[in-house]
Amino acid sequence: MTTLTTTAPLTDDEAKQRDDLLGRLCGSFIGMLDLASVYLGDRLGLYRALREAPATSTELARRASISERYAREWLEQQAVTGILTVSDSSADADARVYALPRGHAESLIDRDSTASSTPMALFLEPIGRLLPRLVDAYRTGRGIPWSEYGDDCWQGQGDFNRPYFRSQLGSELAKITDVHARLVSGGRVADVACGVGWSAIATAKAYPKITVDGYDLDEKAIAQAREYAKAEGVADRVSFHVGEASATRGRYDLVVILEALHDMSRPVEVLRALRGVVADDGALVVGDENVSDTFTAPGNDVERIFHGASITICLPNGLAERPSAATGTVMRPATMRRYAMAAGFTNVEELPLEVGLLRFYRLR
**23 and 140 within one domain:** no
Whether residue 248 is predicted with pLDDT greater than 60 in this model: the reply is: no
d(CA 312, CA 318): 11
pLDDT at 4: 61
Q: What is the mean pLDDT of the chain?
A: 96
What is the reported pTM? Answer: 0.93
Residue where one domain finishes, among candidates 80, 109, 138: 109
Burial of 301 (0-12, 13-18, 19+ CB in 10 A): exposed
Other residues' Cβ atoms within 10 Å of the Cβ of residue 85: 15
Confidence band of 2 (pLDDT split at 50, 70, 90): low
Cα separation of 191 and 181, whole Å? 19
Segment 27-36 mean pLDDT:
98
- The band of 7, judged by pLDDT with boundaries at 50, 70 and 90, is confident
How many domains, the chain?
A: 2
Rounded Cα distance between 196 and 218, Å, is: 9
Q: What is the mean pLDDT of residues 3-10?
A: 77
Residue 292 lies in a domain: yes
Q: What is the mean pLDDT of residues 68-83?
A: 98
- Domain-located, residue 114: no
- Give the pLDDT confidence score for residue 362 in this predicted structure: 98
Q: How far apart are CA 150 and CA 135, in angstroms?
A: 18
Same domain, 193 and 300: yes
DSSP per residue, 101-152: -HHHHHHHH-TTSTT--HHHHHTHHHHHHHHHHHHHHHHH-----GGGG-HH
**Non-local CB neighbours of 131 within 8 Å, separated by 6+ positions:** none
Count how many Cα atoms sit within 13 Å of the Cα of residue 116 in the half-sphere of its side chain: 22
pLDDT beyond 60 at 1: no
Question: Of 248, 300, 256, 299, nearest to 277 (Cα)?
Answer: 248
Backbone angles phi, psi at 133, to 5 degrees: -65, -35
Local structure of 363: helix, strand or coil: strand
Domain limit, last residue, from 109, 135, 170? 109
Does 149 reside within a domain?
Answer: yes
Q: Is 291 helix (H, G, I), strand (E, B) or coil?
A: coil
For range 119-141, the mean pLDDT: 98
Tell me, yes or no, whether 348 and 263 share the same domain: yes
| pLDDT tens-digit series, residues 184-221 | 999 999 999 999 999 999 999 999 999 999 999 999 99
Task: Confirm whether 283 is domain-assigned.
Answer: yes
Neighbours of 236 (CB within 10 A): 10
Residue 3 within a domain: no
Answer yes or no: is 300 within a domain: yes
Its domain, for residue 84, covers 12-109
**Number of other CB atoms surrounding residue 11 within 10 Å:** 9
Confidence of residue 5 (pLDDT cuts 50, 70, 90): low
Instruction: Give yes or no: residues 156 and 189 share one domain.
Output: yes
Question: Angle 219-231/198-206 helices, nearest 10 degrees?
Answer: 30
Residue 205 lies in a domain: yes
| 26, HSE (Cβ side, Cα atoms, 13 Å) | 6
The answer to the question of residue 56 being in a domain is yes
My answer on whether 30 and 100 are in the same domain is yes
CATH of the domain at 149: 3.40.50.150
pLDDT digits (tens, 9 = 90+) for 340-356: 999 999 999 999 999 99
71, burial (CB in 10 Å: exposed 0-12, middle 13-18, buried 19+): buried
pLDDT digits (tens, 9 = 90+) for 148-180: 999 999 999 999 999 999 999 999 999 999 999
Domain endpoint, select from 109, 133, 154: 109
Q: What CATH number should be reported for the domain holding residue 95?
A: 1.10.10.10
User: Using CA atoms, how far apart are residues 52 and 33, in angstroms rounded to an integer?
Assistant: 25
153 membership: H or E segment, kind and range: helix 151-164
- Clarify whether residues 203 and 233 are in a common domain: yes
- Residue 16 and residue 136 in one domain: no
Report whether the peptide linkage leading into residue 101 is cis, meaning its omega lies within 30 degrees of zero.
no
Binned at pLDDT 50, 70 and 90, residue 245 comes out as: confident
Are residues 172 and 290 located together in one domain of the fold? yes
